[in-house]
Amino acid sequence: MRVSQLFAPTLRETPAEAEVVSHKLMLRAGLIRKAAGGVYSYLPLAWRVLKKIETIVREEMDAKGGQELSMPIIQPAEMWQETGRWSVYGDEMFRLKDRHNRNFCLGPTHEEMITTIVRGDVRSYRQLPLMLYQIQNKYRDEIRPRFGLMRGREFIMKDAYSFDRDEAGLDVNYNKMYDAYTRVFNRCGLTFRAVEADSGAIGGSGSHEFMVIADSGEAGIVYCGDCDYAANVEKAELHPISAPAEERLPLTEKDTPDMKSISEVSHYLEVSPEKTIKTLAFRTDTGAVVLALVRGDHEVNEIKLLNKVGCIQLEMANEEAISNVIGSQAGYIGPVGIESSKDIIIVADTSVMNMHNAVCGANKKDTHYINVNPLRDFTPSTVTDIRLIQANDPCPRCGAPVKTARGIEVGQVFKLFTKYSTSLQATFIDDGGKEKPMVMGCYGIGVSRTMAAAIEQNNDENGIIWPVPIAPFHAIVIPISNKDQAQMALAEKIYNELNEAGFEALFDDRNERPGVKFKDADLIGYPIKITIGPKAIDEDQIEVKARRTGETFYFNHEEYVKGIRELLEKL
């Protein structure tokens, strides 16, 4: 294609709305345009990238026996009411009524729909297993859509669903998908990690997330350098930390005027933070208050806490709740003297129970206790692992210190077991004639988010650096002077030869200064830039520059196609 005809409107300035680098670069490189908050048009270059990602996804799904179909985006409310998710989804679900006043939503996901289809047409174990998938727009009305395609309200997803006779079958399909995802992200040219993920209310070890490693990632991950353990920090389990035995001293109140934070208190009382108990108050969706206790130098893992409490939502309790329910004041909360009940749930991290003569808030302004001893001075409702893992914590598998990184979640595989087949009565007759619920898994890839993640991971101050397999074009041919007929003719010849050789090449035939063309090429990030100037004409030296490495090569006319082919394989 000729650049003069390509609709790739680049911008010199970064629109003020963009916060993260992928968002900035996609706007500047003419890849996307905003229609509304979290809602974007994909312009031709972005669409080429997305089609390439989709093709890779499709090939890998098909290779594992997946069958592609396409389900409606507008979904009737009834099936969501059957599973109870019509109410659970809350404001995050886009809802609408048709002209007959019937309720619909825009599918945020398709478990209800696929299970409804399969229950209608699958009766016998002989029709199982099934792996069905689609690639389609999904809709979530995020409170704060942001970061461009990273957290949109309309986004492209590949969602797959497996149906099996039993858990052994689910394991087979789950592992196939795990392999397929590994292949997909490898083929996209991305650096990623598969990590153990929280599987919410279902529990068990039934979920992995695929994280593209990038500093801008919203997710924290930990991994072990010694063994192959890797997990989302939300999921990472921790063994309790023990502390040397001490003689229990008597519980004593201490004045701690205006000392609210752990660091203030420990400094003032001259104890290390490891000897303090941090108490955080949360409120559940049912109105109960949860006091979460961790060691002063630890953080609460809210996801673990939520799963342990078994509620749908948790938020920090406000001053009013702290004062009314606990009779305390923020900054001085502690478990001593609090009776657990259905309204007050005290959850202590396992490591807290190993502490001796600790410090904690005394539920009264400007006052802390010292010499607090668990069980003697307070009794939790639950003792369990609610700690957020940190760098250098011991690996839960091998004990070596873990490392942390930031990641962008681009895929997740998930064992659903019989959650939806039970609520939607998707049963089959097994080979013994018995009716059983199908055993399900679901598997998602954020296709548009993968494009954004690729940019987060691959860019420099000049623009995007596309991994070759998902680059919108492989190469751009730029004549230095549009006035020079010999340069124009050679540039066009090379452009044609490259396309004939199976590459996707562009010819920048615009009547622009070379600087403008080079800047656009670097901004958009084509892997290879071929410059046709006097050296090419006079000396048969074609300049080939690799966007990723910055290296420049010179090939003569006989060799350049081979040279570019070899270069693309290395980039």
Considering only 80, 86, 94, 282, the residue that binds a second copy (CB under 8 A) is 94
Using the rule CB under 8 A, give the single segment among 43-51, 344-352, 489-497, 557-565 that binds a second copy: 43-51
Q: Does 7 bind a second copy (CB under 8 A)?
A: yes
**Of the residues 19, 98, 179, 435, which one makes contact with a second copy according to CB under 8 A:** 98
Residues of this chain, 504-563, that bind a second copy according to CB under 8 A: 511
401: tokens are 């210190």
Rounded to an integer, what distance in angstroms lies between the CA atom of residue 321 and that of residue 170?
Answer: 45
By C-beta, is 15 or 225 nearer to a second copy? 15
Among 21, 43, 290, 386, binds a second copy (CB under 8 A): 43
User: What would the DSSP string read from start to end of 263-288?
Assistant: HHHHHHHT--GGGBEEEEEEEETTS-
Restricting to residues 99-118, name those near a second copy by CB under 8 A. Answer: 99, 102, 104, 106, 113, 116-117
Q: Is 70 a binder of a second copy (CB under 8 A)?
A: yes
d(CA 459, CA 525): 8
Which residues neighbour 483 within 8 Å (Cβ) at sequence distance 6 or greater?
Answer: none
Q: Which of 54, 55, 71, 436 binds a second copy (CB under 8 A)?
A: 71
Helix (H) or strand (E) holding 567: helix 560-570
Which residue pairs, CB below 8 angstroms and at least 24 apart, start in 172-176? 172/129, 173/129, 173/131, 173/441, 174/206, 174/413, 174/415, 174/441, 176/64, 176/65, 176/131
Q: Give least dist CB 48 to a second copy, A.
A: 8
Tell me the H-state helices in 242-347: 262-269, 302-309, 319-321
What is the helix (H) or strand (E) element at residue 423, kind and residue range? helix 419-423
Site string for a second copy, 118-147 (x = CB under 8 A): --xxx---x---x-x----x-x-x-x----
- Using CA of residue 165, residue 80, residue 149, residue 477, what is the dihedral sign? positive
For residues 152 and 380, which CB has a smaller minimum distance to a second copy in the complex? 152
Binders of a second copy among residues 476 to 515 (CB under 8 A) are 511
**Coil, strand or helix: which one is 63?**
helix
In this chain, which stretch among 93-101, 200-208, 331-339, 341-349 interacts with a second copy, using CB under 8 A? 93-101
505-507 and 475-479 beta bridge pairing: parallel
Contact in structure between 184 and 358 (CB atoms under 8 Å): no
Q: What string of H, E and C letters represents the secondary structure of 19-37?
A: CCHHHHHHHHCCCEEEEEC
Q: Contacting a second copy (CB under 8 A), which of 14, 17, 19, 39?
A: 39
Q: Least separation, in Å, of the C-beta of 108 and a second copy?
A: 13
Binding residues for a second copy, total number by CB under 8 A: 55
Nearer to a second copy among residue 27 and residue 388 (C-beta)? 27
Q: How far is CA 476 from the centre of its chain?
A: 33
* Residue of 9, 200, 225, 534 that binds a second copy (CB under 8 A): 9
Kindly tell me which residue out of 54, 55, 68, 202 binds a second copy, with binding defined by CB under 8 A: 68
Shortest reach from residue 300's CB to a second copy, in Å: 28
Closer of 95 and 535 to a second copy (Cβ): 95
> Which of 14, 15, 59, 72 forms a contact with a second copy (CB under 8 A)?
72
What single DSSP character describes residue 205?
Answer: T
Q: In the set 54, 55, 76, 381, which binds a second copy (CB under 8 A)?
A: 76
Q: How far is the CB of 257 from a second copy (least distance, A)?
A: 44
Element (H, E) at 367: strand 367-372
By beta-carbon proximity to a second copy, the closer residue of 17 and 343 is 17
Name the minimum Å distance from CB 141 to a second copy. Answer: 5
Identify which range of 35-43, 195-203, 211-219, 421-429 contacts a second copy by CB under 8 A: 35-43
Chain centre to alpha carbon of residue 18: 19
**Distance of closest approach, residue 118 Cβ to a second copy, in angstroms:** 8
Taking the least distance from each CB to a second copy, the nearer of 98 and 319 is: 98
CA distance from start to end of the chain: 23
| Among 241, 235, 327, CA closest to 281 | 327
CA-angle at 526, arms to 541 and 448, nearest 5°: 170
| Residue ranges in contact with a second copy by CB under 8 A | 4-7, 9, 30, 33, 35-36, 39-44, 46-47, 50-51, 65, 67-76, 91, 94-96, 98-99, 102, 104, 106, 113, 116-117, 120-122, 126, 130, 132, 137, 139, 141, 143, 153-154, 511
